[in-house]
Amino acid sequence: MALYFLDSSAIVKRYNKNEVGSAWLSDLIVLSSDSQDLPSIRIALISGAEVVAALTKRQRMGDLSATEAALAIGEFKDDFQNLYDTVQIDREVIEHAMGLAQRHGLRGYDAVQLASAIEVGSLARQFQLPFVFISADDKLNAAAAEEGLQTDNPNFHR
């Protein structure tokens, strides 16, 4: 078993089925959720707001119909409650994110995502599990790699 951390740019792909990498990410989540050990898919708590905002934006832009957006948001909210294990955002995570934002020139929420992922990476090392940070954001993946994380990008999986 491996631990995976998905940032919001990756998570959106599971619910907007028209995006590159959607099928790959959905398969990864289904296979990972079959594990009886530790929950293997981790996300930052702030991803709840980010994913709903991204899906709503795609509706406004015409990429999703109102019905498609409502279904996607409903499915995500259900998974948010029942499938994903969330990383809580506390003062320590925010202070770490502040340093990451400064060091890598990241936007605020991207820095929080990365700080959360680094926390999960530490947990993976504790249990001697492989760990992968998954994001569709090249800059964020580059920062994660500089921080020593293994990364993957759903955009590279057709």
CA 105 from centroid of its chain's CA atoms: 19
114 contacts 107 by C-beta, under 8 angstroms: no
Q: How far apart are CA 111 and CA 119, in angstroms?
A: 12
* 57 three-state secondary structure: helix
Dihedral Cα 69, 140, 32, 19, nearest 10 deg: 40
Note whether residue 60 is domain-resident. Answer: no
Note whether residue 58 is domain-resident. Answer: no
Encoding tokens for residue 102? 């400064």
What are the backbone dihedrals phi and psi of residue 6, each rounded to the nearest 5 degrees, phi first? -110, 125
- Does the global pTM surpass 0.95? no
pLDDT in tens, the chain (158 residues): 789 999 999 999 999 988 999 999 998 888 887 665 555 899 999 999 999 999 999 999 999 999 999 999 999 999 999 999 999 999 999 999 999 999 999 999 999 999 999 999 999 999 999 999 999 999 999 999 999 999 999 999 98
Note whether residue 76 is domain-resident. Answer: no
Neighbours of 107 (CB within 10 A): 12
Note whether residue 90 is domain-resident. Answer: yes
Exposed e or buried b for every residue in 69-86, given b needs 16+ CB within 10 A? beebbeebeebbeebbeb
**What residues make up the domain containing 92?**
3-47+84-156
Note whether residue 137 is domain-resident. Answer: yes
Note whether residue 65 is domain-resident. Answer: no
**CATH for 98:** 3.40.50
Note whether residue 56 is domain-resident. Answer: no
- As for how many domains the chain has, the answer is 1
Q: How far apart are CA 64 and CA 152, in angstroms?
A: 26
Note whether residue 62 is domain-resident. Answer: no
